[in-house]
Chain A
Amino acid sequence: MSQLLSRTDQPAWWRARSGSNSGGGTALGLGLVTLYLSLLVLIPLGAVVWKSQSNGWSGGWHQVTSPQAWAALKLTLTISAGVALFNLVMGTIIAWVLVRDDFPGKSVVELFIDLPFALPTIVAGVVLLSLYGPRSPAHVNIAFTRTAITVAMLFVTLPFVVRTVQPVLIELDRDMEAAAASLGASPFVIARRIILPNLVPAMLTGTGLAFARAIGEFGSVSLLSGNLPFHTEVSAVNIYNQIQSDNPVGAAAQSTVLLAIAFIVLFALDGLKVWGRRRG
């Protein structure tokens, strides 16, 4: 009705205005989002990248490949990848148990899964240090070892795969499995050819997110790992130390590398989603 009115009974200037009204609303929203993202994300990220090459790109790269920074980067990527893969398996199993099994205290377990999300990571560090540190009540002392880094990263990345796989598993049509069974498929074949292919996109998304989270982990790792150069110093701590020792260019260069890796992972995840959607 209002459309009808605007077409016929209203003056030309109003028609022109109202005609572009919806477009104007979209433009305003888009502008706001762009501004916000620019101030909050794009400009700071740009500044870091800019800073990293203030001594030229080769200068920045030289900083990244300095023995201590390079060792930190290799350590970070190796442990993060291992942690992400471990999460892929354990997270999927946990999601499966939470969706398909019923047991007393299930809601409590659900709550604990989210704890690493809610907890400040430094608190996680304190918790882990008091349990697995030099004064461990269980006499398990892993402080200042690479195991400590692994444990800390496992703790903070626990929810990712669980929380991406769980909803997909809930939505998964149980009749698909029944159909496969009545067509003669064994439980193993059903798991491999029916369930797994439907979970793979979610499993990989969760793993990617866990990896991206792990490479940037600082709080929980810094307390327990001891930050020994060439041994237990991760990139995030290395960046912090470079700032402390007044080497902002080195810090920015190292940050740019982590940024690039995180970007690549996110891009890959996006591609995965498109692929998953195409297959319905």
Chain B
Amino acid sequence: MSIAVRNVTKTFAQFKALDDVSVDIPTGSLTALLGPSGSGKSTLLRVIAGLDTADSGTVQIEDRDATNLPPQRREVGFVFQHYAPFKHMTVYDNVAFGLRVRKAGKAETKAKVDQLLELVHLEKFQTRYPAQLSGGQRQRMALARALAVEPRVLLLDEPFGALDAQVRKELRAWLRRLHDEMHVTTVIVTHDQEEAMEVADEIVVLQDGRVQQVGHPHEVYEHPANDWVMGFLGPVTHFGDLLVRPHDLDLAHEPSDDAMPATIVRVTRLGFQTRVDLDADGEPIYAQLAREATDRLTLDPGTQVHVRHARGEALPPSAPDSVPAAVEEPLAAEAQSGRAQVR
């Protein structure tokens, strides 16, 4: 294990940010701490980095007890949500900072900084000040700065939170490729489940300072530990008493044993899929259909259809290793949303 967090509790004034949290981060993995705001995910990251101290519990980094080590000696690279650039220094000096603090030689520093600036595509910007960079460029500079000291673990706090959607997607894919090349143990904090599923090997779901579930992205999505995790990780709707994914609902014109009748209320076409709002005996539910299903059915408001849960009891739970995780499948989110079927 690269990082082992044991029974960590942290309270701010009256607020319990972390409540008896234990997490293992395997060496070389990319792990996402996923949760809504106030779930304690950022606090956990800061406790690992030594920027906050836990009230109780221990933190081990690479089999070394780091609980009482100051941040200077934890050999951790930290990328802040708002990048925390040294705004009075050029891009070059920002990246060189850690090396200079360690009294690295001039030639060695230059070689390392040049290499990193090339890695993050900022070679041409080395004499600029952070104020003259775009958000994405600042983010990459912060990443290069953290990597310069060759940390044992890389910690990223909502690294893409302040970027617009397009840049965010690009940087996400780039970070994943970077990780596959460098194999630095990486922990990324995010509140965006799609982001977590796209980049991470493993997801730690947090809520109210407690770990709700740990697992591969696919595992957490398909076999959530509880209703809260299910609702947080993706869209949900009701099927009788069951909480289900709307893309797991099938619609048919003919009745069947395991189907229940409902009336179509509204049909919304969202590109390659269609959202069908239904009235199931007074309860509003909705199904998400693939294009092929949409074409086959007559979907008019007021029409009666029969709703069936496509992944009912009959389906055996899939073993995590038999399923391609988001690592090998960069389009995991797309694959999941395309699962809706209709017979």
Find residues 75-131 in chain B having any chain A CB closer than 8 Å to their own CB.
76-78, 80, 82, 84-88, 97-98, 101-102, 129-131
Instruction: Say whether B309 faces chain A, with CB atoms less than 8 Å apart.
Output: no
Instruction: Say whether B74 faces chain A, with CB atoms less than 8 Å apart.
Output: yes
Instruction: Say whether B262 faces chain A, with CB atoms less than 8 Å apart.
Output: no
Contact B87 A198 (CB under 8 A): yes
Specify which chain B residues have a CB less than 8 angstroms from the CB of A183 in the assembled complex: 97-98, 101, 145-146, 148-149
Find residues 159-187 in chain A having any chain B CB closer than 8 Å to their own CB.
173, 175-176, 178-186
Contact B87 A185 (CB under 8 A): no
Specify which chain B residues have a CB less than 8 angstroms from the CB of A186 in the assembled complex: 72
Q: Mark A232-271, 1 if CB is under 8 A from B, else 0.
A: 0000000000000000000000000000000000000000
Contact B88 A279 (CB under 8 A): yes
Contact B86 A182 (CB under 8 A): no
Chain B nearest CB: distance from A274 CB in Å?
A: 14
Chain B nearest CB: distance from A205 CB in Å?
A: 16
Contact A182 B87 (CB under 8 A): no
Specify which chain B residues have a CB less than 8 angstroms from the CB of A189 in the assembled complex: 101
Chain B nearest CB: distance from A105 CB in Å?
A: 22
* Distance A182 CA – B73 CA, assembled complex (angstroms): 8
Specify which chain A residues have a CB less than 8 angstroms from the CB of B73 in the assembled complex: 184
Find residues 41-72 in chain B having any chain A CB closer than 8 Å to their own CB.
49-51, 70-72
* Distance A173 CA – B49 CA, assembled complex (angstroms): 18
Chain A nearest CB: distance from B142 CB in Å?
A: 8
Specify which chain B residues have a CB less than 8 angstroms from the CB of A280 in the assembled complex: 87, 129-132
* Distance A197 CA – B49 CA, assembled complex (angstroms): 25
Specify which chain A residues have a CB less than 8 angstroms from the CB of B84 in the assembled complex: 173, 175-176, 178-179
Partner of B78, one of A179, A194, A198: A179
Specify which chain A residues have a CB less than 8 angstroms from the CB of B149 in the assembled complex: 183-184
Specify which chain B residues have a CB less than 8 angstroms from the CB of A182 in the assembled complex: 49-51, 71-72, 74, 76-78, 146
* Distance A178 CA – B282 CA, assembled complex (angstroms): 55
* Distance A146 CA – B240 CA, assembled complex (angstroms): 91
Specify which chain B residues have a CB less than 8 angstroms from the CB of A185 in the assembled complex: 72, 97, 101
Find residues 193-235 in chain A having any chain B CB closer than 8 Å to their own CB.
193-194, 197-198
Contact A179 B87 (CB under 8 A): no
Contact B86 A176 (CB under 8 A): yes
* Distance A280 CA – B86 CA, assembled complex (angstroms): 10
Specify which chain A residues have a CB less than 8 angstroms from the CB of B146 in the assembled complex: 182-183
Specify which chain A residues have a CB less than 8 angstroms from the CB of B130 in the assembled complex: 280
Contact B82 A175 (CB under 8 A): yes
Select from chain B the residue with minimum beta-carbon distance to A181. Answer: B71
Chain B nearest CB: distance from A60 CB in Å?
A: 44
Contact A198 B71 (CB under 8 A): no
A178-B72 in contact given A183-B149, A279-B129 (Cβ < 8 Å): no
Partner of A180, one of B97, B132, B142, B148: B97
Specify which chain B residues have a CB less than 8 angstroms from the CB of A178 in the assembled complex: 51, 71, 78, 80, 84
Specify which chain A residues have a CB less than 8 angstroms from the CB of B80 in the assembled complex: 175, 178-179
From B49, B82, B97, B142, residue with most partner A Cβ within 10 Å: B97
* Distance A38 CA – B88 CA, assembled complex (angstroms): 39
* Distance A197 CA – B142 CA, assembled complex (angstroms): 19
* Distance A189 CA – B86 CA, assembled complex (angstroms): 13
* Distance A181 CA – B73 CA, assembled complex (angstroms): 9
Contact A180 B86 (CB under 8 A): yes
Specify which chain B residues have a CB less than 8 angstroms from the CB of A179 in the assembled complex: 78, 80, 84, 86, 142, 145
Contact B82 A194 (CB under 8 A): no
A181-B129 in contact given A173-B84, A198-B87, A279-B87 (Cβ < 8 Å): no
Contact B102 A181 (CB under 8 A): no
Specify which chain A residues have a CB less than 8 angstroms from the CB of B88 in the assembled complex: 197-198, 279
Specify which chain B residues have a CB less than 8 angstroms from the CB of A176 in the assembled complex: 84-87
* Distance A279 CA – B93 CA, assembled complex (angstroms): 13
Chain A nearest CB: distance from B49 CB in Å?
A: 6
* Distance A182 CA – B129 CA, assembled complex (angstroms): 21
Specify which chain B residues have a CB less than 8 angstroms from the CB of A197 in the assembled complex: 88
Q: List 20 additional A-B contacts (Cβ < 8 Å) besides A173-B82, A181-B51, A181-B70.
A: A175-B80, A176-B84, A178-B78, A178-B84, A179-B86, A180-B97, A180-B101, A181-B72, A182-B49, A182-B50, A182-B51, A182-B72, A182-B74, A184-B101, A185-B101, A189-B101, A279-B129, A279-B131, A280-B130, A280-B132
- 25 CB < 8 A contacts A-B: A173-B84, A175-B80, A178-B84, A179-B78, A179-B142, A179-B145, A180-B86, A181-B70, A181-B71, A182-B49, A182-B50, A182-B51, A182-B72, A182-B76, A183-B101, A183-B145, A183-B146, A184-B98, A185-B101, A186-B72, A194-B86, A197-B88, A198-B88, A279-B88, A280-B130
The 4 closest A-B pairs by CB, nearest first: A280-B131, A175-B84, A183-B98, A179-B84
Residues on B facing A (Cβ under 8 Å): 49-51, 70-74, 76-78, 80, 82, 84-88, 97-98, 101-102, 129-132, 142, 145-146, 148-149
Residues on A facing B (Cβ under 8 Å): 173, 175-176, 178-186, 189, 193-194, 197-198, 279-280
